[in-house]
Amino acid sequence: MSNKQFDVVVIGGGPGGYIAAIRAAQLGFNTACIDEWKTKDGKPAPGGTCTNVGCIPSKALLQSSENFEHAGKHFADHGIQVSGLALDVAKMLGRKDAVVKQNNDGILFLFKKNKVTFFHGRGSFVKSGAEGHEIQVTGAANETIAAKHVIVATGSNARALPGAPFDEVNILSNDGALRVPQVPKKLGLIGSGVIGLEMGSVWRRLGAEVTILEGLPTFLGAVDEQIAKEAQKAFTKQGLKIELGVKVGEVKNNGTQGVTVAYTNAKGEAQTLAVDKLIVSIGRVPNTIGLKPEAIGLQLDERGAIIVDDLCRTNVPNVWAIGDVVRGPMLAHKAEEEGVAVAERIAGQHGHVNFNTIPWVIYTSPEIAWVGQTEQQLKAAGVAYKAGTFPFMANGRARALGDTTGMVKFLADAKTDEILGVHIVGPMASELISEAVVAMEFKASAEDIARICHAHPSLSEATKEAALAVDKRTLNF
């Protein structure tokens, strides 16, 4: 075994891995984190998909593009005249890159602060034995290190359409979608899931004509139906063309001539979509490239995900796995929570992740956010429930903002009044959902929220009013 021995080695420095490493170090373990992501000039860029080509850059571009849309379309409503409005895409992308770099540097700082040893390179399993696990690091650092415990947090990669590999020029994954150098005249997207809607919104706001082709007949099937319908109405009004129930056929990359997509529409008619760029956002696949799981007999499922139990234990003793590379929702905060929980379990504590209260947010405009069960899930499970909704149209702060689309919806147990789900489509839904998460963690009833004093005027009053609506006693609607 190498003389570089650690209590805990984390492979992967995304939100799952870097947070796991920090928590392990806080708990007193001699901890290392290996991450191979690098900048264009080869420097370490920890933070994984989330920081480099996911959550952070997409939110930076969503904000910039929303500002552009507001300046062009909505400032006039406030009596602000804008003339000579112009777009500098290079500067917008540069700002996004600077935001990413702040986050990369922040993580390197946090490693130092918490005394986590950082290795910039790829981690591959060599062997496992009674003394622990041996890992080969290759890249900027080249050495073999050993660990008593290993936490695998190697994340996921974009799924390509068969026969249409990503070239990141014409056929784009999330990576290329975040650095298109000029606004395409026509942009196509395959998949109207989270990435399809967020990236479609960015480029539509900046002037692209956007068409999204979705295989399923239902829009946002996992979202509460009433909320999904409201969102679909808003997106369609904004000019996003969303075709549901299509079957995508041959995708041709025509170089400088763009991309053509042959597909069959919901009526069974053969169609062709010709676009300048195509974003393929049809889900992600767990990533174990270069990890050499076979070297220690680590078991993967048929999707390539590392098999873990409820506590994130793999089949190999003291090898744990978290985040996108294992089952469950592919969300940064889910990965983080698993990272913290595993570090605490290694320390003999009772780390816990409550999968029933993981919030989801889609950062479109209006934003969509939810926690807990949807109305259709409750119906399918035969649970007796009460529903209460409150529209932002009746909320003073939303009117002042000029953003009255959408509603807050509460679902509560018919007998006990316990909150079973909260669903929001509307302004700042991403922030408003936290109150619902706290309420559900504390097993609150709808009445509990209805009786809590909420600041006026605030969007959160819509949350209180939706809770009141469960008992049919809204005050402002």
Interface residue list for ligand NAI (CB under 6 A): 190-196, 198, 213-216, 248, 281-284, 329-331, 361-363
User: 274 or 383: whose CB is closer to ligand NAI?
Assistant: 274
Phi and psi angles of residue 364, each rounded to the nearest 5 degrees, phi first: -85, -175
- At its nearest, how many Å lie between ligand FAD and the CB of residue 316? 16
Q: Does 291 bind ligand FAD (CB under 6 A)?
A: yes
Rounded CA separation 179/169 (Å): 9
User: 146 or 223: whose CB is closer to ligand NAI?
Assistant: 223
- At its nearest, how many Å lie between ligand FAD and the CB of residue 362? 8
Q: Is 333 a catalytic residue?
A: no
Considering only residues 144 to 163 of the shown chain, the ones binding ligand FAD according to CB under 6 A are 153-156
Q: Does 49 bind ligand FAD (CB under 6 A)?
A: yes
Q: Does 123 bind ligand FAD (CB under 6 A)?
A: yes
Q: Does 286 bind ligand FAD (CB under 6 A)?
A: no
- At its nearest, how many Å lie between ligand FAD and the CB of residue 96? 12
Q: Which does 155 bind (CB under 5 to 8 A by kind): ligand FAD, ligand NAI, none?
A: ligand FAD
Q: Does 50 bind ligand FAD (CB under 6 A)?
A: yes
- At its nearest, how many Å lie between ligand NAI and the CB of residue 263? 8
Q: Which does 36 bind (CB under 5 to 8 A by kind): ligand FAD, ligand NAI, none?
A: ligand FAD
User: 18 or 363: whose CB is closer to ligand NAI?
Assistant: 363
User: 65 or 389: whose CB is closer to ligand FAD?
Assistant: 65
Considering only residues 53 to 112 of the shown chain, the ones binding ligand FAD according to CB under 6 A are 54-55, 58
Residue from 78, 120, 423, 456 carrying the catalytic annotation: 456
User: 278 or 335: whose CB is closer to ligand FAD?
Assistant: 335
Q: Does 35 bind ligand FAD (CB under 6 A)?
A: yes
- At its nearest, how many Å lie between ligand FAD and the CB of residue 206? 16
Rounded CA separation 78/192 (Å): 33
Q: Does 15 bind ligand FAD (CB under 6 A)?
A: yes
Q: What is the 3-state secondary structure (H, E, C) of the chain?
A: CCCCEEEEEEECCCHHHHHHHHHHHHCCCCEEEEECCECCCCCECCCHHHHHHCHHHHHHHHHHHHHHHHHHHHHHHHCCCCCCCCCCHHHHHHHHHHHHHHHHHHHHHHHHHCCCEEEEEEEEEEEEECCEEEEEEEECCCEEEEEEEEEECCCEEECCECCECCCCCCEECHHHHCCCCCCCCEEEEECCCHHHHHHHHHHHHCCCEEEEECCCCCCCCCCCHHHHHHHHHHHHHHCCEEECCCEEEEEEECHHHCEEEEEECCCCCEEEEEECEEEECCCEEECCCCCCHHHHCCCECCCCCECCCCCCECCCCCEEECHHHCCCCCCHHHHHHHHHHHHHHHCCCCCCCCHHHCCEEECCCCEEEEEECCHHHHHHCCCCEEEEEEEHHHCHHHHHHCCCCCEEEEEEECCCCEEEEEEEEECCHHHHHHHHHHHHHCCCEHHHHHHCCCCCCCCHHHHHHHHHHHCCCCCCC
- At its nearest, how many Å lie between ligand FAD and the CB of residue 137? 8
Q: Which does 196 bind (CB under 5 to 8 A by kind): ligand NAI, ligand FAD, none?
A: ligand NAI
- At its nearest, how many Å lie between ligand FAD and the CB of residue 76? 30
CA 114 to chain centre: 26
Q: Are 398 and 392 in contact (CB under 8 A)?
A: yes
Considering only residues 330 to 389 of the shown chain, the ones binding ligand FAD according to CB under 6 A are 330-333, 335, 363
User: 206 or 468: whose CB is closer to ligand FAD?
Assistant: 206
Q: Does 229 bind ligand FAD (CB under 6 A)?
A: no
Residues within the interface to ligand FAD (CB under 6 A): 11-17, 34-37, 48-50, 54-55, 58, 122-123, 153-156, 174, 195, 287, 290-291, 323-324, 330-333, 335, 363
Question: Which residues carry out catalysis?
Answer: 456
